[in-house]
Amino acid sequence: MRTFFKTHAIIFLLALILPVSSHASTDKGVPDLVVEWDTLWHHMMIDITVIGMIFAIVTLYLMFKYRRRTPDEEGGRFRLSTLGVMGWTLIPAFIFLADDIFLAAKNFEVWQKYRNVPENAYVVEVEAYMWGWDVKYPEEEIVLTNEMVVPQDRPVMVRLKSRDVVHSFFAPELRVKWDAVPGMVTYLWFNTHKGGEYLFTCTEYCGLLHSGMYGKIRIVPPQEFTRWIEDHREKGGKI
């Protein structure tokens, strides 16, 4: 029995320690939300799997060991010592609780980064409506519909508004999602390390054409972004 608990402890500790080493942030000290979320997600998956498997194996083992061997067999007297009872109750409860608290703390850490916008963030305003998105560049007087162009290697803050009902801005690959609520200005921010096109979509059911309420985020190199801004400013903003 002692080796059994020892194996428990070792597997459990390994599950807790291993993913920690994969934590990373960008060179400029701006946290990488994609890495942070994924690390937390893997952490939770590993912990749930390891703990779930341990409990499933123990349950199956006990079910097999104490199975009824003949149809008329009656259960015999079997009593655990006080220490045994305490051990079987407190140790599993402690494992669950310790892991829960550990994950909650990790969660809180990621949450802080998620809600604290880096200082040098580029600000874009997004107004949601049934059924589309207006993307505004407050300093440039440029307005796009269902499209956002942002510079690479600079965090982007999105100020969210809604013209009518509750919508929700979701960019799955960038690991960000937040509600756009009428009468409120909410916000989110994301990293732009990798250039390319990313989907953003509405994830709050908002009526008939909710499923068609999506657009793309284009992350382009800084020089290209400056050129793009100048180009559209000359055209009088509206596109």
Q: Is residue 43 part of the contact set for Cu ion (CB under 5 A)?
A: no
Shortest reach from residue 37's CB to Cu ion, in Å:
23
Of 121-180, binders to Cu ion (CB under 5 A) are 167
| Burial letters 140-152, b for 16+ CB under 10 A, else e | eebebeeebbbbb
* Block residue for tokens 């059911």: 205
Shortest reach from residue 202's CB to Cu ion, in Å:
3
Of 174-233, binders to Cu ion (CB under 5 A) are 202, 206, 213
* Block residue for tokens 């020892």: 6
Question: Nearest CA to 205 among 213, 216, 197?
Answer: 213
Distance between first and last Cα of the chain: 72
Shortest reach from residue 182's CB to Cu ion, in Å:
12
Nearest CB to Cu ion, comparing residues 133 and 198: 133
Q: Quote the CA–CA distance of 226 and 239 in Å, as a whole number.
A: 17
Nearest CB to Cu ion, comparing residues 26 and 203: 203
Shortest reach from residue 4's CB to Cu ion, in Å:
53
Nearest CB to Cu ion, comparing residues 50 and 128: 128
Question: With CB under 5 A, what is the number of residues at the site for Cu ion?
Answer: 4
* Block residue for tokens 């010592």: 81
Site residues (vs Cu ion, CB under 5 A): 167, 202, 206, 213
